[in-house]
Structure 1
Amino acid sequence: MTNTLNNLTVLGAGVLGGQIAWHSAFKGKRVVVYDLFEESLQRCQMAHQQYAAIYRAEMGASEAMISETQARLSYSCSLADAVTNADLVIEAVPEIPETKVAVYQEMAALLPAHTLVATNSSTLLPAQFASATGRPDKYCALHFANMIWSMNLAEVMAHAGTAESTLRAVTRFAIEIGMVPIPIQKEQNGYVLNTWLVPLLNATQSLVTNGVSTPEYIDRTYMIANRGCALGPCGIMDIIGMKTCFDVMTYWGTENQDAQLLANATYIKQHFIDQGKLGLQTGEGYYCYPNPAYQAADFLAVPDMSAVEELVALVRPQALAAVS
């Protein structure tokens, strides 16, 4: 059966919104990227230039394929213009409920009658926003993973009022752009992926916030314990983006009155966001890009004996400093 979801609008020009837009255009969809801020659209266009290089190197994309992808992409700060021809809108705005509701309510009167809407929310439920869309039967969750070109999964989650025709069309769309659809059988904050990823990243950030270990040694531990993986949880946070990590930790820390989560959010704000270090998107987070330390050939190597003093200095540094 031929899909009719050929005109895509992506709301939000952040890290994952930009990836969804580029990859969908690469797979033949006509895509409009919408963001409220021109600066965000400019960053997205710069990211798309980086993705072009990645797709050449990792996916064997020819110059013609890259040119065709770029021709299928457009960018807009006008919500009305962005959605006027949309068959599918994927919402990828910040993980702040009030922000999502405001966007949905503004968009509701602008959409063509046939348009489907999907949220890429990391941890929030489609039921929280279905009524705000004005078309709950045409609304569901379609959640992607960062580095969409290699981590090609798309989690499909309904709310009670989602029509089967919507799920069928959205699932076909996912397959058309090269995703493996992951059916979520009931509403679950975090789907499958983020149900285990968010606790991992929170535990990681707690180790940093509380001074238990350093980011590089936390990642070494993870990568040695999971031989063959390309990066550890601090590297993953850089790829997700510090703003998204901050939003998720702030929301759930407040919702659950979790002091450690809120402390982790504060750490991220002070050490990264306030300094303009948003992760891979800006070239610096826990690591510096394009050559992060975890990609070095010797990152997991047994150290030379000359490193003993440096390693010992990291063990109980406050106690050792007091003794000396």
Structure 2
Amino acid sequence: MQHLTVLGTGVLGSQIIFQSAYSGKDVVAYDLSGDILAKLPERWEYLKAAYRRDVPDASEEKLDAAVSRIRATADLADAVSAADIIIEAVPERLDIKQQTWEKVAAVAPERTIFCTNSSTLLPSDIAPFTGRPARFLALHFANEVWKFNTGEVMGHAGTDPEVFEEVAVFAEQIGMVPIRVNKEQPGYVLNSLLVPFLNAAAALFVKGVASPEDIDKTWTIATGAPVGPFRIYDVVGMMTPYNLSKDSADPTMREFAEVLKRDYIDKGYLGKGAGRGFYSYE
């Protein structure tokens, strides 16, 4: 599977695009408008700097070659016309993902494999909208994919086992360690562990128990972990926890969403990729 299309060029979408291109794949980056896509060169420069810092063999030649393998378009039919595999990384809302796949199904080649990078939603809730449920499954990436390189592969009851294995092999080809999730699980393995941890930190913050800095300090000193939960929030970016929390059944998490919106998102403090979140990275 040489030709990849990524739907959505946000924090994680852009990382998947760059990592795949760095690994030698030809990648089409799709987003809704030319204005969004016009900002991608800045994102590539940010990622090139991250690779120089964290990836030992990241020469200028390899980084420039990665950028040369990326083509951007706001035309969906054009974006998917030659795709062997499509990875969707649109906002974490079921209705948006369902509508996106309905549109993709109408224009993508029959041979193309469809993958969602959803962090929390089940493939079985999206599969009926893809027009090819047997060729649809999840391929989930951790943030900062060049460094935290798990690729969680999770199908649904109707996923073709051969397609499942093809996606696991593809994940390995782009530098991921394939994690085969044997049963549909909200949050896969990683987020089943991570989300309760982050929610606990959010509750401590919202209830005024401690500041984000002191919550992080407590965790890193007491456990030896390199970062605390609010550093992780900054890496993830504010929009994902906001979308996951704003309609939560838990009033504390709804309050956390309000805090994120008022004190961070509305001020442009969208996380590490934007230069500022709970911490400043400028």
User: What are the equivalent positions in structure 2 for 1:150-161 lying under 5 Å apart?
Assistant: 150-161=147-158
Matching residue within 210, 215, 218 for 1:218: 215
Q: Of the candidates 187, 191, 199, which is equivalent to residue 188 of structure 2?
A: 191
Q: Which residue of 1 aligns with 2:251?
A: 259
Residue 103 of structure 2 corresponds to which residue in structure 1? 106
Cα 1:39–1:232, aligned 2, differ >3 Å: closer, same or farther? farther
Structure 1, residues 256-300: CA drift from partner, whole Å, max 9, x if none? x2211211111111111111111112111101114xxxxxxxxxx
- Give the Cα separation in 2 of the matches to 1:39 and 1:204: 36
Q: In structure 1, give the amino acid aligned to 2:265.
A: I
Counting only pairs closer than 5 Å after superposition, residues 203-242 of structure 1 correspond to structure 2 as 203-227=200-224, 229-242=225-238
Query: Is 1:15 paired with 2:11?
Result: yes
Aligned 8 A contact 1:202 1:264 in 2? no
* CA–CA separation in structure 2 for the residues paired with 1:26 and 1:45: 15
What is the Cα deviation at residue 39 of structure 1? Answer: 3.8
Give every structure 1 segment of 4 or more consecutive aligned residues whose post-TM-superposition deviation is greater than 4 Å. none
Cα separation, 2, equivalents of 1:44 and 1:120: 20
Compared CA separation, residues 80 and 72, structure 1 to 2 (3 A): same
- Runs of 5+ consecutive residues of structure 2 not aligned to the other structure: none
In the superposition, the TM-score normalised over structure 2's length comes to 0.96
Give the one of 259, 263, 267 matched to 1:275: 267
Taking the aligned partners of 2:54 and 2:203, their CA distance within structure 1 comes to 34
Whole-Å Cα distance in 2 between the matches of residues 219 and 39 of structure 1?
36
Give secondary structure in 2 for the equivalent of 1:247: helix
CA contact (8 A) 2:3 2:82 kept: yes
Larger Rg: 1
RMSD: 1.2
1:37 deviates by: 3.2
Structure 1: unaligned runs, 5 residues or longer:
291-324
Structure 2 CA distance for aligned equivalents of residues 94 and 178 of structure 1: 24
What's the counterpart of residue 81 of structure 2?
Answer: 84
Partner Cα separation in structure 2 for residue 217 and residue 282 of structure 1 = 23
Secondary structure in 1 aligned to 2:72? strand
Tell me, in whole angstroms, the C-alpha distance in 2 between the residues paired with 1:231 and 1:43.
Answer: 29
1:47 to 37, 43, 50: 43
Measure, in 2, the Cα distance between the counterparts of 1:277 and 1:194: 23
Deviation at 1:52, TM superposition (A): 0.9
Secondary structure at the residue paired with 2:209? coil
Cα 1:39–1:222 change in 2 (3 A) is farther
- Pick aligned residue for 1:166 from 157, 163, 168: 163
Question: In the alignment, residue 44 of structure 2 is paired with which amino acid?
Answer: H
Aligned to 2:240: 244
Alignment map for 1:309-324 (pairs within 5 Å) = none
How many equivalent residue pairs? 281
Q: CA deviation at 1:76?
A: 1.2
What is the DSSP-based 3-state SS (H/G/I as helix, E as strand, rest coil) of the residue aligned with 1:32?
strand
Deviations 1:206-258 (A, max 9, x none): 1111111111111101111221x33211011011010011011124x0xxx22
